[in-house]
Structure 1
Amino acid sequence: MFNMSRRSFDEKENPKDSRLTLPLSNSTTETGSMQEISDTSSLESQYLNEPNWPRSWQAYACWLGCFFLMFNSWGLVNAYGTFSSYYVGHSLRNNDQLELNLIGSTESFLVLLFSAPVGRLLDAGHFRYVVGTGAFLVPFGMFMLSIAHPNGENALGSYVNIWVTQGFVVGLGMACYFVSSSQIAATWFPNRKGLAVGFVACGASVAGVVYPTMTRYLIDAMGFNDAVRLVATLVALTSLFSLIFATPNPAHTHPRPQSYRKLKTWIDLEAFRNPAFNWFTVAVAFLFFGFYPVFFNLEEWAAVSGYGTRDGSSVPIHLEKADSQSLQTFWLLTIMNGASTIGRLTMAGFSDKTGKLNMHVVSQIISSLLVLVLWTIAGSTSAAIAFCVLFGMFSGAVIGLPPASVANILDCTYNTPSTKHIGHSKLGQWTGMMYSFAAIPSLVGPVVAGHLVTQYSTYITVQIWAGANLMVSAVCMIVARWYLPCYDGERIGDKIAELLGGGECATKGKEPKNSAESDGEKREFSEATTRGGSCFPSGDVSEETLDKENTSARHLSVV
Structure 2
Amino acid sequence: MTRSTEDVHPNEQRTGSDTSEKQLCQPPTLESLPVMSPATTKVEDRELDWPTGWRPYAALFGCFLLMFTSWGLINVFGTFASYYSESLFRGDDLLLSNLIGSTQCFFVLFFSFIVGRLLDANYSRQLLLAGSIILTIGMFMLSICNGNGGLNQGNYGLTWLTQGLVAGMGMACFFVSSSQIAATWFHKRKGFALGVVACGASISGLTLPVMLRFLITSQGFNNAVRYVTIVVSVTCFAAVLLARPNPAHTFRKPEKWTSTRTWVDTSAFREGAFCCFTASIAALFLGFYCVFFSLEEWAATKGIAHKGVPPPGGKVTLSTYWLLSIMNGCSTFGRLSSAWLCDKYGALNVHMTVTTVSSILCLFLWTFANTLAPALVFAILFGAFSGSVIGLPAASMAEVLGPEPDRQARLGHWTGMMYTAAAPFALVGPVITGHLVTKYETYLGVQIWSGLCLLLSAICMAGAIFFRRRKGTTSCSNEKV
Structure 1 length-normalised TM: 0.78
Residues 1:137 and 2:128 aligned together: no
Residues 1:18 and 2:11 aligned together: yes
Point out the structure with the larger helix share.
2
Among 532, 539, 555, which residue is 2:473 paired with?
Answer: 532
CA-to-partner distance for each residue in 1:92-121, whole Å, 9 max, x for gaps? 113210001000000000000000010000
1:377 is matched with 368
CA distance in 1, matches of 2:17, 2:101: 56
Shift of residue 326 of structure 1? 4.3
1:500 is matched with none
Judge conservation of contact 2:16–2:405 (CA < 8 Å) in 1: no
Q: Which has the higher contact order (CA 8 A, sep 6+)?
A: 2
CA distance in 1, matches of 2:9, 2:79: 53
Shift of residue 531 of structure 1? 3.5
- Bigger Cα displacement from structure 2, 265-274 vs 173-182: 265-274
CA-to-partner distance for each residue in 1:497-521, whole Å, 9 max, x for gaps? xxxxxxxxxxxxxxxxxxxxxxxxx
Judge conservation of contact 2:90–2:151 (CA < 8 Å) in 1: no
**Cα distance change of structure 1 residues 484 and 307 upon mapping to structure 2, 3 Å threshold:** same
Residues 1:404 and 2:395 aligned together: yes
Residues 1:458 and 2:455 aligned together: no
- Bigger Cα displacement from structure 2, 43-52 vs 360-369: 43-52
CA distance in 2, matches of 1:14, 1:81: 48
CA distance in 2, matches of 1:311, 1:140: 29
2:427 is matched with 443
Shift of residue 451 of structure 1? 1.1
Q: How does 1:234-273 map to 2 (within 5 A)?
A: 234-273=231-270
**Cα distance change of structure 1 residues 292 and 19 upon mapping to structure 2, 3 Å threshold:** closer
- Bigger Cα displacement from structure 2, 16-25 vs 175-184: 16-25
Counterpart residue identity of residue 279, structure 1: C
**Cα distance change of structure 1 residues 15 and 251 upon mapping to structure 2, 3 Å threshold:** closer
CA distance in 2, matches of 1:473, 1:398: 10
1:424 is matched with 408
CA-to-partner distance for each residue in 1:198-223, whole Å, 9 max, x for gaps? 11001111100111011011111111
**Cα distance change of structure 1 residues 306 and 22 upon mapping to structure 2, 3 Å threshold:** closer
CA distance in 2, matches of 1:246, 1:126: 12
2:221 is matched with 224
1:55 is matched with 52
CA distance in 2, matches of 1:455, 1:230: 36
CA distance in 1, matches of 2:111, 2:478: 44
2:38 is matched with 42
**Cα distance change of structure 1 residues 326 and 464 upon mapping to structure 2, 3 Å threshold:** farther
CA distance in 2, matches of 1:274, 1:322: 61
CA distance in 1, matches of 2:66, 2:216: 25
Shift of residue 366 of structure 1? 0.1
Among 300, 303, 306, which residue is 2:300 paired with?
Answer: 303
2:169 is matched with 172
1:332 is matched with 323
Shift of residue 322 of structure 1? 9.7
CA distance in 2, matches of 1:61, 1:534: 39
CA-to-partner distance for each residue in 1:160-200, whole Å, 9 max, x for gaps? 01111111110000100000000000000011111111110
CA distance in 2, matches of 1:186, 1:88: 40
Shift of residue 360 of structure 1? 0.3
Residues 1:207 and 2:204 aligned together: yes
Among 337, 340, 347, which residue is 2:338 paired with?
Answer: 347
CA distance in 2, matches of 1:270, 1:123: 17
CA distance in 1, matches of 2:379, 2:42: 43
List alignment gaps of at least 5 residues for structure 2.
1-5, 19-35
RMSD of the alignment, in Å?
2.5
CA distance in 2, matches of 1:241, 1:287: 31
**Cα distance change of structure 1 residues 354 and 154 upon mapping to structure 2, 3 Å threshold:** same
CA distance in 1, matches of 2:476, 2:121: 39
Judge conservation of contact 1:89–1:311 (CA < 8 Å) in 2: no
Larger radius of gyration: 1
CA distance in 2, matches of 1:535, 1:56: 38
1:507 is matched with none
CA distance in 1, matches of 2:385, 2:349: 13
CA distance in 1, matches of 2:149, 2:183: 46
**Cα distance change of structure 1 residues 23 and 72 upon mapping to structure 2, 3 Å threshold:** closer
